[in-house]
Structure 1
């Protein structure tokens, strides 16, 4: 009976606090002199239409007012409306996916609380009644989430309030005394507390990883932006330089063409002058017709008078010999030679474009932390039979220093003669990792090499990184570069750590160099095919020292 009365009072309240004009709950309610109440905006708009008449009336009872009454907000009524709004919100009907009130009859309202002892869900009104009926001993309640059936044991229809650690599931008290009586059980609340700690630790780890990724993202974004800016600047410079080069070539083309035309003009002009002379000479020599006519004249006087002018032959001129046509083969040859040189220069310049400082981005997730690399660490020692005579080996052949004085090593075919280099005794195969520390302004070369690398002589065949037998990372205070087979890749200089980690995966053909500090920072990485066992090797420059580090100590 109290349920129906509550619902009826709610319905009555909504009608009593509705605006007769807009039919909705009063908003900024005002009460006019006749006692009826309206929304402030509704009655204002209604009376604005009566301004010309000067007489204002109540839309419900039609009582008139003159002059226009002043409108003031009814504070008490406004508070009652706000309370009604909250009650109406709490007593809204359940929709799809909402937990329904188990007490409501007819159309059910949305549940707001669930009782874990009564195993029922309640709307706001019925929850208040539930609380009033259990004032002496409060029941345990929770927010209605639509999952109350999941909190009930399907076998015993009792509340799940115990956690079985043996089976990793929630059970009821009867289950504890039945099939789980020998299992490790705790209260669900205690297990929740324990699991919540683990979740908290997981959240901390995830947050840390998010921060790490955000840092990496920022660095990568900065690198991308810097790379884009550098690339754009390089494009603009290249366009400018190539434009200048094209103009230079066009200028040379014009000069060559003008030279050919000038030469053509001079030679043709000379030839045309000779042509005119020859034509004149031919004209002069064509007097034989007059001579023949003179021979047949019978007038002796006329013959004698013409004889003087016709009997003297024209003056003899040098013969003109045209040995060959004028040739421009020398010009063609010079221009062709220029083209070949330009092509060679362009090809060389294009190849050099790829030898620029760059950053390598590694996306592999196999090895990231130093601890992961250390599982592949190997112990190395320097082989004194390979050490150059100016290298002094100490600390059990784990430190090499360039001394500059002959160490009087015995003659050995494995010794490097022309360059201050040394190999390790041990070869590396499979996955191997080692660390070195270096010092000295001139720097060192950290390498891997086939054992077949040449030892005698002063050619590139003996130098780490300058042949197809070895790979080398060169480090100094002024530069950092990777070398293989006489090809060089310039790398960013790093100053914060003098410890370098080297990782080799022989089967995968991977060689990586890392800067070792609190984190592992990739310096350079290549992937190739190794056809022989690899030996760590080192080149030590003047005044520099290299030490094979104990990988576990940082």
Structure 2
């Protein structure tokens, strides 16, 4: 456990990997030299500089001071803690000889080795494949019969580098508004009529909104949420620099966030929103659960209705300039993060 905690402390805020050639800003936060260099290059074009972790602003481009002590700690840690072995998840269809799986189809939950992956077709609309380490071992009988018979290809896309699996989202209580109750396991956000009396901090939202403690600045990730217990809700992703007060702080209602929401007099309207630009979804969301899929390098945030079969709702396309957090807004009732380490 101590080893895992130390590894987390040695991760760069931007790339989420172990520090490479770590440097320090004036505020005291550390980053890989290349990572913070790219961030500062992006900020230079926008006319201002700030630390991506604490958001302290700098009048001029900050100098990068090499952190030799931190570099030595990282090198020592890597020499004494080699990478973990494979997860032990094997291809569903390699029955006679176990072959490590490299990916799992989100449509049928089958685990696939490199060879069986080629049977799947590439889907330009859905992102249906993720790594295998955190998914249940389930498979679709329809797909199994097609594979055995060499039949038609069924929806999946080929694995790319940097793909990450189902993400164990935890809500950051420090960012939760005073009318939002966060469960002890940090998986459920409930609207409350009583004030939660948390300390006032710059991170805290004024409204019933909360961000995840996890941040994502590379790779593919997805997370799922049970929205069936909420009257009105918004789920999506946002930059850490999103405003925390006023209407412009609502997820989807600014340039720094993207959301799927349920609204309307009877809660029967559904929309996707970015920068207050609303796109109505005539078909709505028919199930209790939705999925948010992030492909950081490709600049995509996609929303899915987890009905049977899974239905793609909308994909936003952009170029991300900051790490992203999951975001949740609750206007009555509660919503619950699904998957990850939850029992």
Normalised TM-score (structure 1)? 0.32
1:474 alignment partner in structure 2: 261
2:179 alignment partner in structure 1: 390
Task: Say if 1:428 and 1:535, in contact at 8 Å, map to a contact too.
Answer: yes
Q: Secondary structure at the match of 1:385?
A: helix
1:420 aligns with 2:186: no
Q: Please state how far the C-alpha of 1:441 moved relative to its aligned partner.
A: 5.8
Name stretches of at least 5 consecutive residues in structure 1 with no aligned partner.
1-199, 213-363, 369-373
1:528 alignment partner in structure 2: 318
Task: Say if 1:467 and 1:486, in contact at 8 Å, map to a contact too.
Answer: yes
Q: Residue 201 and residue 407 in structure 1: after superposition, are their counterparts in 2 closer, same or farther (change >3 A)?
A: closer
1:483 alignment partner in structure 2: 273
**Which of 166, 188, 201 is 1:399 aligned to?**
188
2:151 alignment partner in structure 1: 206
**Which of 386, 409, 415 is 2:198 aligned to?**
409
Q: How far apart, CA to CA, are the structure 2 residues paired with 1:464 and 1:375?
A: 24
**Which of 532, 538, 544 is 2:328 aligned to?**
538
2:232 alignment partner in structure 1: 443
Q: Residue 518 and residue 411 in structure 1: after superposition, are their counterparts in 2 closer, same or farther (change >3 A)?
A: same
Q: Secondary structure at the match of 1:206?
A: coil
Higher strand share: 2
Q: How far apart, CA to CA, are the structure 1 residues paired with 2:341 and 2:186?
A: 19
Q: Please state how far the C-alpha of 1:519 moved relative to its aligned partner.
A: 3.2
**Which of 275, 286, 290 is 1:496 aligned to?**
286
Q: CA deviation digits over 1:446-469, x for unaligned, max 9? A: 02111001113x232x11111111
Task: Say if 1:451 and 1:533, in contact at 8 Å, map to a contact too.
Answer: yes
Q: How far apart, CA to CA, are the structure 1 residues paired with 2:237 and 2:184?
A: 22
**Which of 165, 168, 171 is 1:376 aligned to?**
165
Task: Say if 2:166 and 2:339, in contact at 8 Å, map to a contact too.
Answer: no
Q: How far apart, CA to CA, are the structure 2 residues paired with 1:493 and 1:469?
A: 26
Q: Please state how far the C-alpha of 1:397 moved relative to its aligned partner.
A: 1.1
Q: Residue 205 and residue 492 in structure 1: after superposition, are their counterparts in 2 closer, same or farther (change >3 A)?
A: farther
Q: CA deviation digits over 1:135-159, x for unaligned, max 9? A: xxxxxxxxxxxxxxxxxxxxxxxxx
Q: Residue 367 and residue 482 in structure 1: after superposition, are their counterparts in 2 closer, same or farther (change >3 A)?
A: farther
Q: Secondary structure at the match of 1:522?
A: strand
1:366 alignment partner in structure 2: 157
1:549 alignment partner in structure 2: 338
Q: Residue 402 and residue 553 in structure 1: after superposition, are their counterparts in 2 closer, same or farther (change >3 A)?
A: closer
Name stretches of at least 5 consecutive residues in structure 2 with no aligned partner.
1-144
Q: Residue 205 and residue 533 in structure 1: after superposition, are their counterparts in 2 closer, same or farther (change >3 A)?
A: same
Q: Please state how far the C-alpha of 1:481 moved relative to its aligned partner.
A: 0.3
Task: Say if 1:438 and 1:544, in contact at 8 Å, map to a contact too.
Answer: no
Task: Say if 2:164 and 2:220, in contact at 8 Å, map to a contact too.
Answer: no
Q: Residue 367 and residue 395 in structure 1: after superposition, are their counterparts in 2 closer, same or farther (change >3 A)?
A: farther
Task: Say if 1:435 and 1:551, in contact at 8 Å, map to a contact too.
Answer: no
Over the aligned positions, Cα root-mean-square deviation in angstroms equals: 2.8
Q: How far apart, CA to CA, are the structure 2 residues paired with 1:553 and 1:516?
A: 18
**Which of 212, 218, 223 is 1:434 aligned to?**
223
Q: Please state how far the C-alpha of 1:504 moved relative to its aligned partner.
A: 0.4
Q: How far apart, CA to CA, are the structure 2 residues paired with 1:375 and 1:452?
A: 24
The structure, 1 or 2, with the larger RCO (C-alpha pairs under 8 Å, 6+ apart) is 2
Q: Secondary structure at the match of 1:492?
A: coil
> Whose Rg is larger?
1
Q: Please state how far the C-alpha of 1:439 moved relative to its aligned partner.
A: 2.6
Normalised TM-score (structure 2)? 0.51
Q: How many residues align?
A: 192
Q: CA deviation digits over 1:229-266, x for unaligned, max 9? A: xxxxxxxxxxxxxxxxxxxxxxxxxxxxxxxxxxxxxx
2:123 alignment partner in structure 1: none
Q: Please state how far the C-alpha of 1:489 moved relative to its aligned partner.
A: 0.5
Q: How far apart, CA to CA, are the structure 1 residues paired with 2:289 and 2:208?
A: 21
Task: Say if 1:402 and 1:545, in contact at 8 Å, map to a contact too.
Answer: yes
Q: How far apart, CA to CA, are the structure 2 residues paired with 1:415 and 1:502?
A: 23
**Structure 1: 4+ residue segments shifted above 4 A:** 200-203, 551-554
Q: How far apart, CA to CA, are the structure 1 residues paired with 2:233 and 2:291?
A: 14
Higher helix share: 1
Task: Give the 5 Å matches for 1:19-418.
Answer: 204=149, 206=151, 366=157, 376-417=165-206
Q: Residue 507 and residue 494 in structure 1: after superposition, are their counterparts in 2 closer, same or farther (change >3 A)?
A: same
Q: Please state how far the C-alpha of 1:203 moved relative to its aligned partner.
A: 6.8
Q: CA deviation digits over 1:111-137, x for unaligned, max 9? A: xxxxxxxxxxxxxxxxxxxxxxxxxxx
Q: Please state how far the C-alpha of 1:487 moved relative to its aligned partner.
A: 0.6
Q: Please state how far the C-alpha of 1:544 moved relative to its aligned partner.
A: 2.2
Task: Say if 1:444 and 1:544, in contact at 8 Å, map to a contact too.
Answer: no
